[in-house]
Structure 1
Amino acid sequence: MKPMPTLRQLRYLVAVVERRHFGRAAEACLVSQSTLSAAIQELEDLLGAPLLERSRRLVVPTALGQDIATRAQALLKGAEDLVDAALAARDPFTGPLHVGVIPTIGPFMLPQAMPALRLAFPQMKFYLREDQSARLVEQLHAGGLDAVVLALPYPMEDVETIEFARDRFWVACPPGHRLCKASAVRPADMALEDLLLLEDGHCLRDHALSACELEGARRNVAFQGTSLHTLAQMVANGLGVTLLPEMALDAGILRGLDLSVVPLDGETPYRRIGLAWRRSSGRKETFHRVTAVLRNAMTKGPAPQAHQA
């Protein structure tokens, strides 16, 4: 039988390649540096080739070492999913769940959703990480996260998703603005305005442009904000108008600002909110149940009234 590397050896190699340092890798793996070095030496002897170039100050993977470390990450994630599947078969609603959430959803959804999740799953511990969609999806594939809450559609491979809410866009503008006179703002009307949107990297920017049918009119984007709160302040300063999701309005993002809001009209004046997880995950029953709780928690009360600050 062909000799095979152990998961322990592969985990140690990945840790060294990621950190470029034996000491820090050993600390991350909770072992001594000598134990980690010996395991990697055993792996090199097994494969018959050097995986790392060692010097006093620096550790650099060889081309083979980098390739094996990349392949090992997928193997280690598969082994972890295998264990998760076994644990989930015993009790899918206990233990830790690491969930990522994007910044245009987290601050507005979590105060409403987390009490419902804690009540529904008292034996689960939810660990949350807020970041932009691209980095969250990267961490999802790498195994650092179990699931991600984000706005759909978003380009992802080897994942499953369930939509649990539709978050309508509202136009925020200063009182007396021409758009405030309408009961709903047509997408064509937005093309004539200085539209304030989030900077590149925030998927809400693309979803807002799509909702008001301005994909080809990015020249109308006058300024870029770093957060929805910043956009609201810029509108209050008379720099233009913006699109805000309903969950942000429900959370009081315009509190203290002299602004009006009017619903956006059109075929799809909303963004879709969903939960995504790796297709290989063994916790699918957990995610389906979590999504059901989120859907119930996100059921809206009365929508914001047009022309009210």
Structure 2
Amino acid sequence: MTIEPKILQYVLTLVEEKNFTKAAKKLHLAQPSLSYQITKLEKDLGVQLFIREYNEVVPTYAGSVFVSYATNILNQYRYLKNEIIDISELKKGSLTIGSLVSAGAHLLPNAISAFRKEFPGIDLKLVEDTSHELQDMVASGKIEICLLSLPIKNHGIETENILEEDIYLAVPPDHWLSAYQEVELSMCREEPFIALKNTNTFRTQSDELCQEAGFAPNIVFESTNINTCQSLVLADIGITIVPQMFLDESELKEKPKYLPFTINGKRPKRTLVVGYKNIGYVSKASRAFIEILKNISQ
């Protein structure tokens, strides 16, 4: 048997008013309708809840027990409604964000700061990992959203573009390519390359760019850190491909020569995206963070 919250409220109001007519008026019901609901409840429960006297109703022992539980249940119901409203209005809750280490270090601090100021009741958590692991975590629901770069291989993820940036070649300052203001990537087919490890999506994009230019890169060294790749360039070990955000914010005291390049006359771009599970629903907290991230990245 299921007892609706409104029936519990009928009982509590009747106890408070001690009279069917007064209780019905307070509940905006017809008196016969209230009497019917209470009688039906007693029949369904198999016990008498009220002693009906001439001008007053008094709860029985069973009625008193019912009232005690009904009061607690309705209080919990109100607490639940209020909490859900708070969550819906972003007054409280939690949000777990995933990010690539490199991209997150550049874009997330300002976004997190702005979000915390606007929604102080939302507890933010950050998970940093490889693109492959982050995609799996989003698709499985372990994290709500994550900052990634294209291409995305997991079909269980939907994406929204956050930032599009240019890509550059980083070469030693005295390298023969440094004499150029801009190069065609195919000019580098004989050059040794330093690359990120193949768990990184920017490595995937870099390999695809070289293939588009008509060659497979001769990779002589791999690293998980793009600044390490640039340090190896300065050591004259090879050249590397670098996203624009690392040009001005590099931790290196010395910097390689950065060259814009084209493939068949077109400048390539890197696209950073926010990914979330492809289920047709994005929480209000996730949506709010995405919009803040978009605004900051403009």
TM-score normalised over the length of structure 1 = 0.62
Take 1:125 and 1:155, find their aligned partners in 2: how far apart are those partners?
30
Structure 1 stretches of 5 or more lacking a match?
Answer: 1-85, 300-309
Partner of 1:91: 89
CA 1:114–1:211: 2 relative to 1, 3 Å: farther
What residue identity is the alignment partner of 2:101?
P
1:88 Cα deviation from its structure 2 partner: 8.8
Aligned to 1:185: 183
Matched to 1:264, the amino acid is: F
Look up the equivalent residue of 1:106 and give its one-letter code.
G
Q: Please give the alpha-carbon distance, in whole angstroms, between the structure 1 residues aligned to 2:105 and 2:197.
A: 18
Which residue number in structure 1 is paired with residue 288 of structure 2? 289
Tell me how far apart the structure 2 counterparts of residues 179 and 279 of structure 1 sit (CA, whole Å). Answer: 44
Q: Secondary structure at the match of 1:218?
A: coil
The CA distance in 2 between the partners of 1:107 and 1:181, in whole Å, is: 32
Is the alpha carbon distance of 1:134 and 1:296 closer, same or farther for their aligned partners in structure 2, counting shifts above 3 Å? same
1:241 maps to 2:239 = yes
What residue ranges of structure 2 are gaps of 5+ in the alignment? 1-83
Measured after TM superposition, the shift of residue 122 of structure 1 is 3.3
Q: In the superposition, relative to structure 1, how do residues 92 and 212 fare at CA in structure 2: closer, same or farther (>3 Å)? A: farther
In 2 relative to 1, CA 276–93 (structure 1 residues): closer, same or farther, beyond 3 Å? farther
CA contact (8 A) 2:230 2:255 kept: no
- Computed over aligned residues only, the root mean square deviation of the Cα atoms, in angstroms, reads 2.5
1:113 deviates by: 3.2
- Counting matched residue pairs gives 213
Q: Note closer, same or farther for the CA distance 1:190–1:285 as it changes in structure 2 (3 Å cut).
A: farther
Task: Give the alignment of 1:123-162 within 5 angstroms.
Answer: 123-162=121-160
User: Does structure 1 conserve the Cα–Cα contact (< 8 Å) formed by 2:185 and 2:213?
Assistant: no
Gap change, CA 1:107 and 1:99, over 3 Å in 2: same
How does the TM-score come out when normalised to structure 2? 0.64
State the shift of 1:263 in Å: 1.9
Q: How far apart are 1:100 and its partner, in Å?
A: 0.7
Secondary structure in structure 2 of the residue aligned to 1:205: helix
Instruction: Check conservation: 1:104, 1:204, Cα contact below 8 A.
Output: no
Q: Which has the larger radius of gyration?
A: 2
Residues 197 and 224 in structure 1, CA contact (< 8 A), matched pair in contact too: yes
Does the Cα contact within 8 Å between 2:168 and 2:241 map onto a contact in 1?
yes
Query: After superposition, where does 1:261-276 map in structure 2 within 5 Å?
Result: 261-266=258-263, 267-276=266-275
Q: Which residue of 2 aligns with 1:111?
A: 109
Q: In structure 2, the residue corresponding to 1:169 is in which secondary structure?
A: strand
Compared CA separation, residues 288 and 264, structure 1 to 2 (3 A): farther
Deviations along 1:270-304, one digit per CA (max 9) or x if unpaired, are: 211011111226434443432232122123xxxxx
Identity %: 23
Q: In structure 2, the residue corresponding to 1:264 is in which secondary structure?
A: strand
Instruction: State the distance in 2 between where 1:123 and 1:175 align.
Output: 50
Q: Secondary structure at the match of 1:105?
A: helix
**Cα-to-partner distance string for 1:97-136 (whole Å, 9 max, x where unaligned):** 1011112312222234333333443332221111011111
Displacement of 1:241 in angstroms is: 0.7
Question: Given residue 293 of structure 1, which amino acid in structure 2 is its aligned partner?
Answer: I
CA distance, structure 2, for counterparts of residue 290 and residue 135 of structure 1: 21
CA displacement, residues 153-176 of structure 1 (integer Å, 9 cap, x when unaligned) = 211223221011012211111112
Structure 2 counterpart of 1:170, from 168, 171, 175: 168
Whole-angstrom CA distance in 2 between matches of 1:291 and 1:179: 40
Indicate if the aligned counterparts of 1:116 and 1:297 stay in contact, CA closer than 8 A: no
Closer, same or farther: CA 145–215 of 1 in aligned 2, 3 Å:
farther
Report SS of the residue matched to 1:233.
Answer: helix
- Rounded to whole Å, the distance in 1 between the matches of 2:217 and 2:170 is 19
Local SS of the residue matching 1:104: helix
The answer to whether structure 1 residue 259 and structure 2 residue 256 are counterparts is yes
**What SS does the corresponding residue of 1:188 show, helix, strand or coil?**
helix
